Amino acid sequence: MNSVHFAPGPDGHAVVVTRVAEQQWHAVEGGRVVGRGDAAQRFDGRLFVSVDAWHGAAFDRLAAAMVADLPTPLHTVVDEADLDSTANWQRAGFRIRRREREYLVPTDPEVTGLGSVRLPPGMTVVPAGEAQEGPLRALDRTIRDEVEATLGWQAMPAEVLLRPGGSTVVDPSKYVVAAESGRYVGLLRVAPVPRRPRIGLIAVRADRQRRGIARAMLAQALGSLHRSGEATAWAEVDESNGPARALFGGVGAQRVGGNLELVRG
């Protein structure tokens, strides 16, 4: 790879950007590497880019090179508190596509108030590791089709990815499932993230929503984590998702940050 882009740095030396691999760029100034850019295509087809640069000129040259070399749309994710990074990407022509709130969620039922949650009539909650893989994957497809028909799957978080074969279920043992008369109608995924477990997804079939099913699954998942010695879990919620914000707010979750997904093209 040898695409090269030139521009002056803050000290007057030329910043030379070279595509050193299929998905990697280097910015060199005065013989030193002053920035790196990377691209990665997710399983759902979205192309995400990132830049680590010493100064704004190097960032701008790397971003411009990547935009010139790669097909659009391009996505990136930044911490909502990192105003400089947000401004850098916006200067490169990216716009904010979604905002996610990050929550620290207590697991103790005495704190969450979930110790006495009552299931809707005819409903049971299947603990993580006990769900049947076939019905779970069928529910996943049904919910994905419902999302695609309304918001569109592209509105989902970056990490909710379609895997080869079109499934988003990576490890069935990580899912809590709600069942009604033996039929799966809701799912919750607890992701095995280092340091702290993460509530990666909560979803209920459209025709079974607003019946307390999500709350019942959350009670099962958090209660299990509490019994295993985990004091808190992590969760991310789209800022526009009022029901999800209310669900986590109602169990004493504390907002501790957030991130922005930006897109160009």
Could you report the per-residue pLDDT of 9-31, keeping only the tens digit for each?
Answer: 555 568 899 999 999 999 999 88
Across the range 78-107, mean pLDDT stands at 95
- Picking from 79, 84, 88, 30, the residue whose alpha carbon sits closest to that of residue 59 is 88
Whether 178 is in a domain gets the answer yes
**pLDDT reported for residue 259:** 93
Query: Alpha carbon of 121 to those of 103, 118, 124, 183: distances in Å?
Result: 30, 9, 9, 14
* CB contact at 8 A, 217 and 202: yes
Whether 245 is in a domain gets the answer yes
**pLDDT reported for residue 246:** 94
* Mean pLDDT for the chain overall: 87
Share of the chain above pLDDT 70, in %: 86
Residues 43 and 152 in one domain: no
Whether 157 is in a domain gets the answer yes
Last residue of a domain, one of 98, 114, 131: 98
pLDDT digit string (tens) for 113-149?
998 888 888 899 999 989 999 999 999 888 888 877 7
* CB contact at 8 A, 108 and 231: yes
**pLDDT reported for residue 166:** 56
Residues 108 and 228 in one domain: yes
Residues 213 and 232 in one domain: yes
| Token output for 134 | 């076939």
Residue 24 to residue 59: CA distance in whole angstroms: 14
Residues 210 and 108 in one domain: yes
- On the question of pLDDT at 82 being above 80, the answer is yes
pLDDT digit string (tens) for 151-198?
655 555 545 555 555 566 668 889 999 999 889 999 999 987 777 899
What is the extent of the structural domain holding 38? 4-98
Whether 191 is in a domain gets the answer yes
Residues 218 and 112 in one domain: yes
Would you tell me the crossing angle of helices 213-227 and 242-249 to the nearest 10 degrees? 40
Residues 143 and 210 in one domain: yes
| Token output for 23 | 């998905």
Whether 162 is in a domain gets the answer yes
User: CATH code at 32?
Assistant: 3.40.630.30
* CB contact at 8 A, 99 and 260: yes
**pLDDT reported for residue 163:** 52
Residues 105 and 94 in one domain: no
Residues 143 and 93 in one domain: no
Residues 50 and 105 in one domain: no
Residues 57 and 142 in one domain: no
Residues 155 and 246 in one domain: yes
| Token output for 253 | 């979750």
Last residue of a domain, one of 55, 75, 98: 98
Whether 265 is in a domain gets the answer no
Residues 180 and 72 in one domain: no
Which of 39-43, 151-155, 214-218, 222-226 is predicted with the least confidence, judged by mean pLDDT?
Answer: 151-155
Residue 109 to residue 36: CA distance in whole angstroms: 46
Question: How many domains does the chain fold into?
Answer: 2
DSSP string for 120-163: PTTEEEEPTT-S-HHHHHHHHHHHHHHHHHTT-GGGS-TTS-PP
Residue 44 to residue 101: CA distance in whole angstroms: 22
Last residue of a domain, one of 98, 130, 152: 98
| Token output for 161 | 């990815």
| 45-48 CB contacts, 8 Å cutoff, 24+ apart | 45/162, 46/73, 46/75, 46/154, 46/158, 47/71, 47/73, 47/74, 47/75, 48/74, 48/75, 48/76, 48/77, 48/158
The two most distant CA atoms of the chain are separated, in Å, by 72
